[in-house]
Amino acid sequence: MKTHHPNFRRSLIATLVAGAVVALPAFAATRAPAKAQGKPTVAEAEAFIKDAEERLEQLGLDAQRAEWVAENFITLDTQSMTAQASEGFLTLSGETALKARRYKDLKLPEASARKLMLLQQTLMLPEAKDRATYARLAAHMTGAYGSAKYCPASVSTSAAGAAKPACMPLGELEKVLATSRDPNRLKEVWLGWHAQSPSYKDDYAKYVEVSNKGARTMGYADTGALWRSGYDMSPEAFSSEMERLWQQVKPLYDSLHTYTRFKLRQAYGASVVPATGPIPAHLLGNMWAQSWDNLYPLLKPATKDGGEDLTALLEERKTDAVAMTRYAEGFYTSLGMRKLPETFWERSLLTKPRDREVVCHASAWDLDGKDDVRIKMCITPTAEDFRVIHHELGHLYYDLAYSVQPPLFKNGANDGFHEAIGDTVALSITPAYLKQVGLMKTEPDPSADIGPLLYTALQKVAFLPFGYMVDKWRWQVYSGQVKPADYDKAWWALKEQYQGVSRPAPMLENGFDAGAKFHVASDTPYARYFLAHVLQFQFHRALCREAGYSGPLNRCSIYGNKQAGAKFQQMLAMGKSKPWPEALKAVTGEDKMDATAMLDYFAPLKTWLDEQNRELARTDASVKP
């Protein structure tokens, strides 16, 4: 599945203001903050903040443009330009974070106090040797992950007759997990990939030490506490909030898990899948068991799915990339939002060029902090890309809505909001919406909803415990609760507790299974994805209520409803100017995240799953070893 890749400016500003890691490059010359004479004043603080955000915005824009060029014209030179631009931004942001501490005890106006707080929510490594170590370890881990391959003991024979290892990169291994139904083959490739990450386990352990040093420089207990401080609440309160949200949705996940286990027992036999307890990780169609939609052919309802095939309809009509994007723009304008600027159509990349390679991964870009917004995506006429382009425009409409805010407030209310906006709109891509825009002729009976609901749940509900436990594990590592010798023990304890998933073979003596996930190797915070999955359903429920809809939530589309659109736009325009509970309240009337909206959306599926599980439990005894 394609997902949004944050644009450079947003990702760097988010790094600065959302509690992620910022460290100066090893070769950056960092000046120590000048020793100020006397006590700082409010006027001095205001001048510092104004200068800092103006300089940071300009450097961020410069870096953003460099990255746009580098992803559209992939050469050594353009990559070097991007590296130089990012170096300048990171250097300034690190210096600014340290200098901002001088003013932390002043009583400032609300907006200025918020900006000063955001400027300090970053990691800072003032010592050159630590910066060098940090940069070296980060580069080595991401490089090792990107170049890792599983080379089976068996060999293939080339055309010349020479034997050579049939090495497989991650993409090929993922295809096997998605399509093979041979449990031995699945286990082989799963173990093959997870055997690669121990090579950089020692680097990760050292990286944790250096990262914590940088967090403590800025006054945080450790890097995990720094990350959790980016949510307008204490680190301890945020930990409790994540657990509360998970407990809300756990009954739905448990029903899905039980059904999946029964169906996998039918497919693979009792000797492969246990009657109770965790499911072996290699059987779930995904390297990390984070989404299970590849299992849909094994799990789908016995009755034929209703509705028309959107991909077939798009192909039949020869719907091109521009037309696909126009449909998505039309959804947002139907809510009362502006049309995309003409420059969007002139400067975006919507199809793969014939003359060069580009990064085709779908991404949304804001290149001037005003209205130079663009999409870079190699669009094909499929149902999946139809959903993705609706999602990507959600980022741009968020960018446009908060473009009037000061630079430090030009971001999502918290790091889960930006991903949730487009996904909220994607939840409104219902048969009713498709019929309204002329893409479908009929609207299937509600009895045909179970198949699509199950498929969506295998993506979104299955993801939730994984989205939670990745950072829960890292919080334990950064706090020192989990030592390197126990990395795998703690990882699999959480996998079993939250996902109900087990390792398909005993743990390696010096294993590092967490490092087999990119976001761990690259040290990218992960809680944002959990939050986005919760928020999109909460937004959807509130907007459907605003639109006066009262039927099944999975059938609601807010397309064409200006009242719901105005409520949505009100929240988007706030950006990060207020604590996220205020932004949430603006659109939902609620100041707490609430996962019960997901329960409402999947209510028909939960009823069906529980019925199926009762019936499957009666017949499970007949499953053969």
For residue 123, is pLDDT > 90? no
User: What would the mean pLDDT of 415-438 be, rounded to a whole number?
Assistant: 94
pLDDT above 70 coverage of the chain, percent? 91
User: Rounded to an integer, what distance in angstroms lies between the CA atom of residue 175 and that of residue 380?
Assistant: 20
- Residue 159's pLDDT is what? 47
- Residue 163's pLDDT is what? 52
- Residue 133's pLDDT is what? 87
- 293 pLDDT band, cuts 50/70/90, is very high
User: What would the mean pLDDT of 445-464 be, rounded to a whole number?
Assistant: 93
User: What would the mean pLDDT of 439-445 be, rounded to a whole number?
Assistant: 86
- 492 pLDDT band, cuts 50/70/90, is very high
pLDDT above 90 coverage of the chain, percent? 72
Residue 220 pairs in a beta bridge with: none
For residue 13, is pLDDT > 50? no
Two structure tokens written together for 355: 């003359």
- Residue 168's pLDDT is what? 94
Q: Which of 571, 576, 575 is nearest to 542 (CA)?
A: 571
For residue 27, is pLDDT > 50? no
For residue 90, is pLDDT > 80? no
Could you read off the pLDDT of 201-255 as tens digits, one per residue? Answer: 999 999 999 999 989 988 899 999 999 999 999 999 999 999 999 999 999 999 9
* Most confident among 23-27, 58-62, 95-99, 230-234 (mean pLDDT): 230-234
Could you read off the pLDDT of 377-411 as tens digits, one per residue? Answer: 999 999 999 999 999 999 999 999 999 999 999 99
User: Rounded to an integer, what distance in angstroms lies between the CA atom of residue 612 and that of residue 127?
Assistant: 60
Question: Hey, what amino acid is at 94?
Answer: G
For residue 623, is pLDDT > 80? no
For residue 589, is pLDDT > 80? yes
CB of 350 within 8 A of CB of 377? yes
- 92 pLDDT band, cuts 50/70/90, is confident
Two structure tokens written together for 502: 């087990």
- 128 pLDDT band, cuts 50/70/90, is confident
User: Rounded to an integer, what distance in angstroms lies between the CA atom of residue 166 and that of residue 150?
Assistant: 8
For residue 38, is pLDDT > 80? no
Residue 137 has, within 13 A of its CA and on its CB side, a CA count of: 22
Residue 341 has, within 13 A of its CA and on its CB side, a CA count of: 19
Q: Which of 265, 310, 287, 535 is nearest to 416 (CA)?
A: 535
- 1 pLDDT band, cuts 50/70/90, is very low
For residue 29, is pLDDT > 50? no
User: What would the mean pLDDT of 476-483 be, rounded to a whole number?
Assistant: 98
- 154 pLDDT band, cuts 50/70/90, is low
How far CA 349 is from CA of 362, 381, 453, in Å, comes to: 10, 15, 32
At how many degrees (to 10) do helices 450-460 and 603-619 cross? 90
- 135 pLDDT band, cuts 50/70/90, is confident
Residues whose CB falls within 8 Å of the CB of residue 472, separated by 6 or more in sequence, listed in order: 242, 494, 498
- Residue 273's pLDDT is what? 96
Residues whose CB falls within 8 Å of the CB of residue 162, separated by 6 or more in sequence, listed in order: none
- 127 pLDDT band, cuts 50/70/90, is confident
- Residue 178's pLDDT is what? 95
Question: Hey, what amino acid is at 20?
Answer: A
Residues whose CB falls within 8 Å of the CB of residue 385, separated by 6 or more in sequence, listed in order: 2, 324, 377, 379
Q: Read out DSSP for 548-589? A: T--S-GGG---TT-HHHHHHHHHHHHHTTSS-HHHHHHHHHS
Residue 366 pairs in a beta bridge with: 373
- 341 pLDDT band, cuts 50/70/90, is very high
- φ/ψ of residue 216, rounded to 5: -70, -30
- Residue 106's pLDDT is what? 94
- 352 pLDDT band, cuts 50/70/90, is confident
User: Rounded to an integer, what distance in angstroms lies between the CA atom of residue 579 and that of residue 581?
Assistant: 6
CB of 8 within 8 A of CB of 59? no
User: What would the mean pLDDT of 472-478 be, rounded to a whole number?
Assistant: 98
User: What would the mean pLDDT of 416-431 be, rounded to a whole number?
Assistant: 95
Strand, helix or coil for residue 20: coil
Kind and range of the H or E element at 385? helix 383-401
For residue 625, is pLDDT > 70? no
User: Rounded to an integer, what distance in angstroms lies between the CA atom of residue 249 and that of residue 277?
Assistant: 19
User: Rounded to an integer, what distance in angstroms lies between the CA atom of residue 177 and that of residue 283?
Assistant: 8
- Residue 624's pLDDT is what? 67
Strand extents, DSSP E, 277-372: 279-280, 363-366
Rg (C-alpha) for the chain, rounded Å, is 25
Two structure tokens written together for 22: 């910022």
For residue 157, is pLDDT > 60? no
pLDDT: which is higher, 164 or 461: 461
For residue 146, is pLDDT > 70? yes
For residue 112, is pLDDT > 80? yes
- Residue 28's pLDDT is what? 35
Q: Which residue blocks in 503-550 are alpha helix, DSSP H?
A: 518-521, 527-546
Residues whose CB falls within 8 Å of the CB of residue 88, separated by 6 or more in sequence, listed in order: 59, 62, 63
User: Rounded to an integer, what distance in angstroms lies between the CA atom of residue 102 and that of residue 124?
Assistant: 15
Q: Which of 437, 194, 431 is nearest to 326 (CA)?
A: 437
Question: Hey, what amino acid is at 44?
Answer: E
User: Rounded to an integer, what distance in angstroms lies between the CA atom of residue 225 and that of residue 92?
Assistant: 23
- Residue 124's pLDDT is what? 79
User: What would the mean pLDDT of 337-357 be, rounded to a whole number?
Assistant: 92
pLDDT: which is higher, 328 or 143: 328
- Residue 306's pLDDT is what? 57
For residue 17, is pLDDT > 50? no
Burial class from Cβ neighbours inside 10 Å (0-12, 13-18, 19+) for residue 106 reads: middle
